[in-house]
Structure 1
Amino acid sequence: MPRASVQNRAGTPAADVTLRTAARELGLRPIELNLAVQTGRVHTVPGASGGPRRIPRAELERLREHPDVPESLLERARAVGAAEAAALLGISPHRFSRLARLGLFSPVTFYVNRYRSVVWLYLADELREFAVAGAEVLTGRLPHGMREELAAGADHRARCWRQRRVRELVGQAAGPWERAAAHAAVLPDAVLAEAVPDASERERLLAHRPRLAGAGGISDAVCEALNRLAPARAEEEIQAHRALLGAELHTARTGERPKPRRHTTTGPERGRRHRAGPVRPHAPGRADATPSRAAPAAEAGASRRRWSLRRRRRGSEAPPTA
C-alpha cells in the first residue's frame, strides 16, 4: 500500500523526492521504480549539482490518481526472463533465445546470477506487442539469412541493450554535455581518447558519465559484467556513437564560446571626440576662424592704408593757392 508523503522541516511536502523515497510512498521496491523511470513510465528531474535524478511531487500525485497503483505501474514496467518471455509469445525457450540473439527483442536490463552468468530481462508489454506484429517468425522455419547468422555465432543482445540504454539516457539528459557523456559511456577507452583528444573535455565527460545499469549499489559481479557489456564492439556501432558524440560536443562547445563584441570607445576619449566634432575642409576664399600669428600684421597694414587714404582726401579738399 502507498505510504504517507515525506515532508520538509516546515511541515509541507517537498517539491521532489529521491527514487527510494518515492518507491516507499508508492509501495514499490526501488528496483521496480527504477525500471519504471528507465522506461519512461515515471517522469524525473535532474538532481541538484549533478546528483541522482529525483521525482517531482506532482508526478507522485499523478500516479496516485490511478486507483490500481502500484499494480498497474508494475505491470506496465514488468521485466521477464527468457522462460516467461517464451511463454508470453507461445514459443519454446530455445526458439526465443535464437530470436533474441538475432536482435529481434531489446533487453531492458540484466542481472548476474549466482553462477556469474548474465541474465537478460525484457519488457512484457513489448513482448505482447511483438506477438502481434512479428507473428511470422514465431512459427515455422527461420529464413535462410537468419539461420546463417546464428550459425556464425551472432548475438546482438548486448548491442540492443546498449542502444536502448543510450537512447533512454539521451532522452533524460539536461544538455549537450550529458548527451555526449551518454554516447561516450559505450565507447572503448582508446576510441574515446582518439575522438576527444582534449584531456579536460574527457574529464568533463567522465564527470557526467551516466549509470548504465543498477539501482543503488552495484555488486562486483555486475561491475565485471558491465566492463564486458558496456563497450561497443562492432565497427559500425562504434562509428555511429562516435559521430553522435562529436555532434553533441560541437553543440556544447558552440554554446559556451563567447560571442565577439563590437569595439566601442568609452570614457574621456569618447567625450573629447564627441565635443571636438568632425574636421571639415575650408571653402576657397573663406576666412579661417582660428587666430594666427599673421593677424596682427594684417590689421596694422589695413590701418596704415586707411590713414593714407584719409590724408589724400584732405589734400584734395584744401583751397587753391594764389
Structure 2
Amino acid sequence: MSGNTITQPTTHTTSIKPTVVPAPAGATGRPFAQSRAARELGLKRGEFDLAVQLGCVRTVVDDGGGDRRVARTEIDRLRAEKGFPEALRERVETVGSTAAAEILDVTSARFVRLARLGLVTPVKFYVNRYRAVVWLYLAEELRQFAADENNVPWLKGRIPEELRARLDAGLDLRPKNWRGRHLGFLLRQADDPWTRAAAPASLLDLVQVAEIVQDPYERAYLNRHRVTRPDSGPPDSPAAQLTARIMTADDSDEIEWLRADLRQALAAARAHRLAPRPLRPGAAPQLPPDMRRSAKQQPTPTTGTEKRHGLLGWLRRRHP
C-alpha cells in the first residue's frame, strides 16, 4: 500500500476557531441532532464525528429511528469540563505526516518509516485527487509519544538493520493498524448484536464472509447493518477501490482473528434475533420472541372483509 501513499499530506488544523454557540437555558425535549450538537460544542463536523468515534462525545439512539443523537446532559457535561472548548478540540486534532514529524522533531521521511513500522497508528485517512492515500494522526497521541523517554531511540537512534530491510521490502503496517482502530470505533457505536457482527464482517472480503455466513438472508441482513464510508466516492471509482483495499484485511493472522470474532458475534446475533426472510405463501410472519408474546395477548382485529360479510349475512336473514 505504500506505493499509493502520499508522504507529505497537509495538516487538518486551522488557526480559525469555530464559535461556540451558547446552550439554550433550560432546554428540554429531544436530544440534539449531531449537526446541532457539533455547533453547540464548537466543533466542525469532521471533528465531531471523530470525537464520537473516540468516545469523547456519547450518543444515544434516536427514538424516531433516525441517526444517533446527543443528549442535552452530554452537551452540558462537555461544556462544563475544564478548558472547554480548546481542550476538546485538542483531543480530536489531526495532523498529516509533515506536521506529525514536526511534533516528534524528526524528518518527514523518518516519521513515515516509524508509521510504517506501526509505532504510531493513523486515526483517519482519505484519498486525494492524485489518488494517493493521506494518513492522519492524532496530535495528542504524537505529543505523548514524543514525551515518552522510552521512545528516544526511535526518534534519535538508528533503526535496526532487520527492520530497515523489512521496510525496504515494502512493510507498511498503517492499513492494518488503522483497521484495528476502526474496528474499535465500529464496536463502540454498535447498539445491536447484528451491528456488532457486521463490524468484523465489514473488514473481511466477501469470500471470507460467505464461508462463515452461508445463509444468504443472514448475509443480506449483515450488510444492512454495515457502516459505510460516505467519502469514498462512487463504487467503481479509483478512490472507492483504493478505500476498499485499505478496509479489507490482507494479513493471515488478522483474517483469522476477524473470522473468529465474526463467528462469535454471529452466534450472539442469532440468539438475539433471527435474520428476516421472505414469507412463504400463506405463512404467518415470523416475529421476534418478545413480539410473539405481546401478539398473543392482543385481541384479533376485525378486518373490513369480515365486517362486510357479517353485514351481508344480516341483510340476508332480514330479507330472505
Asked if 1:16 corresponds to 2:31, the answer is yes
**1:83-105 Cα distance to aligned partner (Å, 9 max, x none):** 11111111110000011111111
**What SS does structure 2 have at the residue aligned with 1:146?**
helix
Shift of 1:125: 1.1
**What SS does structure 1 have at the residue aligned with 2:195?**
helix
Distance between the aligned counterparts of 2:232 and 2:64, measured in 1?
22
Distance between the aligned counterparts of 1:43 and 1:160, measured in 2?
24
Distance between the aligned counterparts of 1:123 and 1:50, measured in 2?
32
- The answer on whether the counterparts of 1:47 and 1:54 sit within 8 Å (CA) in structure 2 is yes
TM-score where L is the length of structure 1: 0.72
- The answer on whether the counterparts of 1:6 and 1:14 sit within 8 Å (CA) in structure 2 is no
**What SS does structure 1 have at the residue aligned with 2:204?**
coil
- The answer on whether the counterparts of 1:5 and 1:13 sit within 8 Å (CA) in structure 2 is no
Shift of 1:207: 1.0
**1:223-247 Cα distance to aligned partner (Å, 9 max, x none):** 3432221111112211110110000
Distance between the aligned counterparts of 1:232 and 1:46, measured in 2?
30
1:151 to 159, 168, 172: 168
Q: 1:166 to 1:157 in 2, by over 3 A?
A: same
Distance between the aligned counterparts of 2:222 and 2:66, measured in 1?
15
More deviation, 84-93/139-148: 139-148
Q: 1:160 to 1:48 in 2, by over 3 A?
A: farther
Distance between the aligned counterparts of 1:203 and 1:164, measured in 2?
25
**What SS does structure 1 have at the residue aligned with 2:32?**
strand
Q: 1:145 to 1:49 in 2, by over 3 A?
A: farther
TM-score where L is the length of structure 2: 0.73
Letter of the 2:179 partner, please give it.
R
1:200 to 210, 217, 220: 217
Distance between the aligned counterparts of 1:51 and 1:68, measured in 2?
32
- The answer on whether the counterparts of 2:60 and 2:69 sit within 8 Å (CA) in structure 1 is yes
Q: 1:197 to 1:186 in 2, by over 3 A?
A: same
2:45 to 27, 30, 37: 30
Q: Which residue of 2 aligns with 1:79?
A: 94
| Structure of greater relative contact order (alpha carbons < 8 Å, 6+ residues apart) | 2
Shift of 1:30: 0.6
Distance between the aligned counterparts of 2:233 and 2:180, measured in 1?
23
Q: 1:39 to 1:160 in 2, by over 3 A?
A: same
Higher-Rg structure is: 1
**What SS does structure 1 have at the residue aligned with 2:70?**
strand
Q: 1:47 to 1:183 in 2, by over 3 A?
A: farther
**1:186-226 Cα distance to aligned partner (Å, 9 max, x none):** 10011111111011111111111023x45xx6544653432
Distance between the aligned counterparts of 1:113 and 1:146, measured in 2?
29
- The answer on whether the counterparts of 2:193 and 2:272 sit within 8 Å (CA) in structure 1 is no
Distance between the aligned counterparts of 2:96 and 2:165, measured in 1?
26
Q: 1:50 to 1:164 in 2, by over 3 A?
A: farther
**1:38-72 Cα distance to aligned partner (Å, 9 max, x none):** 11111112334764322111110111113643221
RMSD between superposed Cα atoms in Å: 2.3
Q: Which residue of 2 aligns with 1:255?
A: 272
Letter of the 1:199 partner, please give it.
P
* Overall identity of the aligned pairs, in %: 43
- Aligned residues between the structures: 253
Q: Which residue of 1 aligns with 2:208?
A: 191
**1:262-308 Cα distance to aligned partner (Å, 9 max, x none):** xxxxxxxxxxxxxxxxxxxxxxxxxxxxxxxxxxxxxxxxxxxxxxx
**What SS does structure 2 have at the residue aligned with 1:88?**
helix
